[in-house]
Structure 1
Amino acid sequence: MQLGTVTPILRTFDEAKTEEFYIGFLGFKVDWQHRFEDNFPLYLQVSFGACVLHLSEHHGDASPGAAVRIQAAGLDAYQQQLQAKDYRFAKPQIEETPWGTREMSIKDPFGNRLVFVEEGQA
């Protein structure tokens, strides 16, 4: 057996806040989006490099408050870029963990936690 790529689905509730946070603040890009009709929930895919996330307003797709760990390189530069945007709802900091990683945790407007993880320097 072989396993492939995992694509997490994160619950969202507001299209404008989703765009502001994931596109405007974090720098992801929209790959595609879908809704069955006007005034129906939005489902979209965003990506940043090799990281792909599905964001869904559909009630049954996911529960708010999920946590996703994202492997990262260049965490210091990314953190500085985010700080420079002066986003009022997140001021991310990098933490050195006892298990040898450097991590930057950010909550989205819907309670989901994105943890950007960089392996420690040897």
Structure 2
Amino acid sequence: MEKARGYFQEIHPVLPVQDVVTALRFYVEKLGFNVAFADDEKEPTYAAVKRDNIEIHLQWHDAKEWEVAVDRPMLRFVVQNIEGLFDEYKDKDVFHERTALKETPWGTREFAFYDPYKNGLTFYHDL
């Protein structure tokens, strides 16, 4: 008898941050997420935010552990109504000077920027 295959249901990436409260503020106030949980009400070191079917975990890391030369994580979010999301974020002071909604040679329409800890966030849909 063959065993049933494992099934991937969701993914909850964990992003390193230097201050969980600052990261929570960014994801909630700027990007429209809600706090899913935090390990402490006042000084969390681990928390999660959720918007629609996306959940991101935020984990404190001591600044001494951060290496400038190491690349930061990059998340790619598949979204519906990319234009509406771009419009929602354009007045939230989250874009960098090169953020633009554009079509790519690999067949997507997307835009990208960084969170306060240089974790890359790309939002896209297939053309």
- TM-score, scaled relative to structure 1: 0.80
Identity of aligned residues (%): 27
Q: 1:25 aligns with which of 20, 25, 30?
A: 30
RMSD, aligned α-carbons: 2.4
After superposition, the C-alpha distances for 1:40-64 in whole angstroms (9 at most, x for unaligned) are x52111111001111111458xx87
Larger radius of gyration: 2
Q: 2:17 aligns with which of 12, 26, 41?
A: 12
Amino acid at match of 1:84: D
| 1:3 match: secondary structure | coil
Q: Does 1:49 align with 2:52?
A: yes
Q: Name structure 2 gaps, 5 residues minimum.
A: none
CA distance in 2, matches of 1:32, 1:96: 36
* Structure 1 outlier segments of 4+, above 4 Å: none
CA distance in 2, matches of 1:55, 1:105: 19
- Contact 1:33 / 1:44 at 8 angstroms: preserved in 2? yes
After superposition, the C-alpha distances for 1:74-107 in whole angstroms (9 at most, x for unaligned) are 111111111133x1x5254212111111111120
Q: Name structure 1 gaps, 5 residues minimum.
A: none
Q: What is the aligned residue count?
A: 114
Matches within 5 A, 1:1-122: 1=5, 2-35=7-40, 42-58=45-61, 65-85=72-92, 87=93, 89-91=94-96, 92-120=99-127
- TM-score, scaled relative to structure 2: 0.77
| 2:87 match: secondary structure | helix
